[in-house]
Amino acid sequence: MNKFTGCLLLSLLLLGTAPVWAQDTDLLKLVGEDKPKKEYVKYAFKSPRVINGHSMEFLNPGTMDFRILHRFGLVNQGYKNFFGMDQASMRMGFDFGVMKNLMFGFGRSTYKKELDGFIKYAPIRQSTGPHHSPLTVALVAGMTMDGLPWADPTRQNFFTSRLGYYFEMILGRKFSEGLSLQLVPTMVHRNLVDLNADPNNVYALGFGGRIKLSQRIAFTWDYTHVIIGMPDSGYYHPLSVGFDIETGGHVFQLHFSNSTGMNERAFITETTGNWAKGDIRFGFNLSRVFQIKKRKSF
Amino acid sequence: MKQFILLLAFISTASCLSAQDIFFTKTGKIGFDATTSSSPEKIAGTNKSVTCVVDTKKGDIQFSMLMKGFEFERALMQEHFNENYVETGKFPKAEFKGQIANNSQVNYAKDGTYPVKVKGNLTIHGETKTAETDGKLVIAGGKITASADFNVLLSDYKVAIPSLVSDKVAKTAKISVDCLLEPLKKN
């Protein structure tokens, strides 16, 4: 009997509480939370380049980035050269996004009339969720071709002497919406160097980053420390600092840099400006991304 | 032991009852369009993984979606949508929790088209505002299609449009909802 009343009480209790429980329910919880999915971290940098060097960011598939880069003359030459504005060196480039983690591009610089091309691929991309990765690992292989007339036409010149190569591994992480950092071990090989004493292989470590100041403006820097292969005098480690400004369709990268070259071979091995002496140049990169392949219609 | 069986029986009947009244989807579609006559291109995106749940007995209706799920024809537009306008990194979810005001006029057991009035709270970009719209429920073969079109004033949800493009992006976005709901089966 006692047991029976217990049952009755319990069932009454349950009947009484059930509707209350239903009222409080968040309907969305009834269908179950979505399983956490692996999501790639995007938009670590505004552009696939930090300033001079490659960034951990990729172009979207089906897009082309038309890049016009300018480096002016030395700022410390003063008014007679209008703080360097009277001279300009430029590079025009076309980069293409093939897959979310694969892109390639080429460009031509006025400096040494040099052509350059590269392929960039990320086997690992920073992601959240199951099997996440804290880092993006991207590999870049590039090639440069000097277009100047032979310095000494009397000797036997080989086409291969015009060529240079570079290989990079970009280890990057977007730490937060506001901060992205990357380390870039780099190797540059030049088939022909100016002097006997110059090494053909140069090893360097790049350190680039971005601090977002607002939705459309970011502070960026791009430093490459040449570890092995730095000539004894006359050459410096390239350092560029600047701002990324996004204006709808364009990204403007305005910066100060001690290098003139705008491809890896040129700015890593041939930077002649000394920041300490004010041998810096104003420069800007203009990036305009075009959708060249229509995405499936929505 | 007897108590335990009774308890089980009660729980199962309770959940059976509520499950019959609940319809849901996780693949609902919500479209967004902020094109104006002076826009150089179509400013529109679609999210195809919207969760929607309706409690037909009480007339509750709720939507939830990840803002990142909006896809645009142009990759750059999608980037700007995520990065600059609705800031999906900071505010990943949008939600609507409301009621069908005229739920008693909808006969969920009978196939047909029923106009409905929906009122509730809409949360976008971390801002919650009351929203109200006319929509319709189409009941056919034990499934419900919920659809509605309404406008959202972007400034209500603190979505800032820079002055440079203020004439190219509409101040109100047209939102279109299209969800096919199926009965929820418990386990």
Which range has the worst mean pLDDT, A76-80, A168-172, B49-53? A76-80
**Overall average pLDDT of the B165-173 stretch:** 89
Q: How far is B49 from chain A (nearest CA, A)?
A: 11
The answer to whether residue A41 is domain-embedded is no
The answer to whether residue A26 is domain-embedded is no
In the predicted structure, residue A18 carries a pLDDT above the cut 50 = no
The answer to whether residue A296 is domain-embedded is no
C-alpha–C-alpha distance, residues B62 and A28, integer Å:
7
CA-based nearest residue to A138, from A94, A171, A93:
A171
The residues near B178 (Cβ < 8 Å, ≥ 6 apart) are B28, B29, B30, B31, B145, B146, B147
**Overall average pLDDT of the A103-122 stretch:** 96
The answer to whether residue B54 is domain-embedded is yes
**Which pLDDT does position A27 carry in this prediction?**
79
- Minimum CA–CA partner of B74 in chain A: A291
Per the structure, the complete domain to which residue B158 belongs is given by 22-183
Residue B167 pLDDT grade (very low, low, confident, very high; cuts 50, 70, 90):
confident
Residue B89 pLDDT grade (very low, low, confident, very high; cuts 50, 70, 90):
confident
CB of A46 closer than 8 Å to CB of A244: yes
**Which pLDDT does position A215 carry in this prediction?**
86
> What's the token pair of residue B128?
């919650």
Specify the higher pLDDT residue, B124 or A196: B124
Specify the higher pLDDT residue, A31 or A229: A229
The answer to whether residue A192 is domain-embedded is yes
- Minimum CA–CA partner of A216 in chain B: B84
C-alpha distance from residue A223 to each of A50, A99, B177, B185 (Å): 10, 28, 49, 58
**Which pLDDT does position A11 carry in this prediction?**
56
In this complex, the residue of B6, B51, B60 whose CB is nearest that of residue A11 is: B6
**Overall average pLDDT of the B183-187 stretch:** 73
The count of structural domains within chain A is 1
Chains A and B: how many Cβ contacts under 8 Å?
92
**Which pLDDT does position B32 carry in this prediction?**
93
The answer to whether residue A44 is domain-embedded is no
**Overall average pLDDT of the A110-124 stretch:** 96
Cα-atom radius of gyration of chain B, to the nearest Å?
A: 19
The answer to whether residue A275 is domain-embedded is yes
**Overall average pLDDT of the B76-103 stretch:** 92
What CATH number does residue A120 fall under?
Answer: 2.40.160.40
**Overall average pLDDT of the A176-187 stretch:** 96
In the predicted structure, residue B127 carries a pLDDT above the cut 90 = yes
DSSP string covering B54-115, please?
EETTTTEEEEEEEGGGEEESSHHHHHHIIIIIS-TTT--EEEEEEEETTGGG--TTS-EEEE
What CATH number does residue B89 fall under?
Answer: 2.40.128.110
Residue A19 pLDDT grade (very low, low, confident, very high; cuts 50, 70, 90):
very low
- Interface check for B95 against chain A (CB to CB < 8 A): the answer is yes
In this complex, the residue of B51, B79, B90 whose CB is nearest that of residue A31 is: B51
In this complex, the residue of A6, A18, A26 whose CB is nearest that of residue B14 is: A18
Give the containing element (helix H, strand E) for A10. helix A2-24
The answer to whether residue B15 is domain-embedded is no
C-alpha–C-alpha distance, residues A10 and A66, integer Å:
73
Phi, psi of B89, rounded to the nearest 5 degrees: -65, -40
**Which pLDDT does position A24 carry in this prediction?**
44
| Pairing assessment for the beta strands A136-145 and A163-174 based on DSSP bridges | antiparallel
Q: Do B53 and A31 touch (CB under 8 A)?
A: yes
> What's the token pair of residue B99?
């009621």
**Overall average pLDDT of the A115-139 stretch:** 95
In the predicted structure, residue B187 carries a pLDDT above the cut 90 = no
**Overall average pLDDT of the A75-96 stretch:** 90
**Which pLDDT does position B163 carry in this prediction?**
82
In the predicted structure, residue A134 carries a pLDDT above the cut 80 = yes
**Which pLDDT does position A29 carry in this prediction?**
79
In the predicted structure, residue A114 carries a pLDDT above the cut 70 = yes
How open is the CA angle B91-B93-B155, to the nearest 5 degrees?
A: 60
Q: What does pLDDT average to over chain A?
A: 89
Burial of A279 (0-12, 13-18, 19+ CB in 10 A): middle
CB of A72 closer than 8 Å to CB of A282: yes
Residue A49 has what DSSP assignment?
B
Could you say which residues from 20 to 49 on chain B have a Cβ atom under 8 Å away from some Cβ of chain A? 22, 24, 26, 44-46
Helix then strand count (H, E) for chain B reads 2, 9
Instruction: List, for residues B37-79, the tens digit of each pLDDT value.
Output: 888 889 999 999 999 999 999 999 999 999 999 999 988 999 9
The answer to whether residue B157 is domain-embedded is yes
**Which pLDDT does position A12 carry in this prediction?**
53
Which range has the worst mean pLDDT, A40-44, A185-189, B15-19, B65-69? B15-19
Helix then strand count (H, E) for chain A reads 3, 14
The helix/strand/coil state of A153 is: coil
Residue A85 pLDDT grade (very low, low, confident, very high; cuts 50, 70, 90):
confident
Residue B7 pLDDT grade (very low, low, confident, very high; cuts 50, 70, 90):
low
**Overall average pLDDT of the A251-277 stretch:** 93
The answer to whether residue B108 is domain-embedded is yes
Burial of A265 (0-12, 13-18, 19+ CB in 10 A): buried
Residue B23 has what DSSP assignment?
E
**Overall average pLDDT of the B13-27 stretch:** 71
In this complex, the residue of B18, B24, B83 whose CB is nearest that of residue A215 is: B83
Q: What does pLDDT average to over chain B?
A: 88
Q: Do B64 and A28 touch (CB under 8 A)?
A: yes
Per the structure, the complete domain to which residue A72 belongs is given by 50-291
C-alpha–C-alpha distance, residues B61 and B51, integer Å:
11
Q: How far is A50 from chain B (nearest CA, A)?
A: 18
CA-based nearest residue to B96, from B36, B175, B20:
B175
The helix/strand/coil state of A225 is: strand
Q: Do B51 and A298 touch (CB under 8 A)?
A: no
Phi, psi of B162, rounded to the nearest 5 degrees: -65, 150
Task: Name A246's bridge partners.
Answer: A251
Residue A195 pLDDT grade (very low, low, confident, very high; cuts 50, 70, 90):
confident
**Which pLDDT does position A231 carry in this prediction?**
84
The answer to whether residue B117 is domain-embedded is yes
**Which pLDDT does position A191 carry in this prediction?**
94
